[in-house]
Amino acid sequence: MPVDTALTGPDIGRLLVTCPDRPGIVAAVSRFLYDAGANIVESQQYSTNPFDGTFFLLVTYHLAGLARRDSELADEFSDLANSFGMDWKMTRAADRKKVAIFVSKADHALQELLWRHHSGELNCDIQLIISNHPDTAPVAATWDIPFHHIPVTPQTKHEAEARELKLLGHETDLIVLARYMQILSADFLDSFGGPIINIHHGFLPAFVGGNPYGEAAERGVKLVGATAHYVTADLDAGPIIEQDIIRVDHRCSVSDLQRMGKHVERSVLARAVAWHLDDRVIVHKNKTIVFT
C-alpha cells in the first residue's frame, strides 16, 4: 500500500465521482476522458453493491494544458454527470489546498506535519497555526509559519472562535486538529463549513473522550491506537479516515502509553491528511472510501 504516493504536476487532474451504480459508468467516463485527450494514469473504483448500490470512482489523468482547459472540461463533463446523477468534482493536482493547523501544548503531531510538508510529502500550503497555548510558537517560527495564540476559556470560547474564523477567512480548504484539546462548537463547524481532520489518541470507538490512555491502562488492553477522522458535531463520532495501533504490555504506565502513543498518533494523522490533500478520500454517510 503506497500510502503516500502522489501524482503531481501542472497537467495532472483528478475526477471524483459518487453516483447510483448502474452499467456503463466507467465506459462513459473513460470515453469522455479519451475524447478530451486525457491519459488515465490511475483509476480506482468501488461499489457498495453493483446492482443497486452506490458507485465511487477516482480517476487521475494527464491532460496537456490542463490549466487553461480546466473549466471547459468541467462544463463538458456536467452533462454526462447529470445523466448518471453524479455527485462529482474535478480538481487539479497543482491547486494545492490551503491548510490551517490547530494545536494545543503537545507538539508531536504538529512537528510531524511540518516536517512532512517540508519534505514534500504533504501537497498543500500551510497558511497558519492557531493555538490556545503559546508553547508551539517557536516551532512555527522555525518553519516560518504565522502563529496565532488564541487562549480559550469557557467564558471566551465564543469570542475566540470568532477570532479564529476571522483569521481563516474564506481561503482555508482544510483545518487539521493536531492534538487541539478544545472542542469546536457546532456554530464554528457551521461557519467554517469545510472539512476538519482530527487525531484522536485512542482506537475509536473504544475510549471516546479526553482520557483514552488512562482508560486503556485501566482496562489493561494489549494494544493502543490512534484514529484520524473528520470532525462532526457529534464528538469523536465522525467518519474514520485512518487508524493504527502499537503493542503495549502490563509494564506500561499511563505516561508510557502517552509517550509511545504519540508516535502512532503523528503517523496516522499525517497519512490521513496526505490522502485528503490528494483527493483520495470520499465521505459517504458516516464512513470513508479511501483510495490509497
> Is residue 20 part of the contact set for a copy of itself (CB under 8 A)?
no
Active site (annotated) includes residue 236? yes
Helices (H) and strands (E) in the chain, counts: 8, 13
How many angstroms separate the Cα of 134 from the Cα of each of 122, 138, 168, 227, 245?
25, 9, 19, 26, 30
> Is residue 239 part of the contact set for a copy of itself (CB under 8 A)?
yes
Q: What's the rounded Cα separation, in Å, for the pair 289 and 292?
A: 9
Smallest separation (angstroms) from a copy of itself to the CB of 104:
15
Interface with a copy of itself in residues 111-140 (CB under 8 A): 111, 115, 119, 121
> Is residue 2 part of the contact set for a copy of itself (CB under 8 A)?
yes
Binder among 23, 68, 79, 171 for a copy of itself (CB under 8 A): 23
> Is residue 207 part of the contact set for a copy of itself (CB under 8 A)?
yes
Look up residue 256 and give its amino acid. Answer: D
Q: What's the rounded Cα separation, in Å, for the pair 121 and 90?
A: 22
> Is residue 250 part of the contact set for a copy of itself (CB under 8 A)?
yes
| 141-179 exposure pattern, b = at least 16 Cβ within 10 A, e = fewer | eebebebeebebeeeebeebbeebeeebeeebbbbbbbb
Looking at residue 116, the DSSP 8-state letter turns out to be H
- Dihedral sign from CA coordinates of 103, 109, 112, 113: negative
Considering only the stretches 70-78, 168-176, 185-193, 236-244, report the one whose residues sit in contact with a copy of itself under the rule CB under 8 A. Answer: 236-244
The closest of 188, 211, 191, 186 to 201, measured between CA atoms, is 211
Q: Per-residue contact track with a copy of itself, 264 to 283, x per CB under 8 A?
A: ---x----------------
Q: Per-residue contact track with a copy of itself, 36 to 55, x per CB under 8 A?
A: -xxxxxxxxxxx--xx----
Q: What's the rounded Cα separation, in Å, for the pair 197 and 241?
A: 9
Binder among 203, 261, 276, 280 for a copy of itself (CB under 8 A): 203
* Secondary structure string (H, E, C) spanning 148-167: EECCCCCCCHHHHHHHHHHH
Smallest separation (angstroms) from a copy of itself to the CB of 160:
28
Strand 39-47 relative to strand 54-62: parallel, antiparallel, unpaired? antiparallel
Q: Which is nearer to a copy of itself, 50 or 134 (CB)?
A: 50
> Is residue 27 part of the contact set for a copy of itself (CB under 8 A)?
yes
Residues that bind a copy of itself (CB under 8 A): 1-5, 22-24, 26-27, 30-31, 33-34, 37-47, 50-51, 62, 107-108, 111, 115, 119, 121, 142, 203-207, 219-223, 225, 239-245, 247-252, 256, 259-260, 262-263, 267, 286-290
Q: Catalytic amino acids?
A: 236
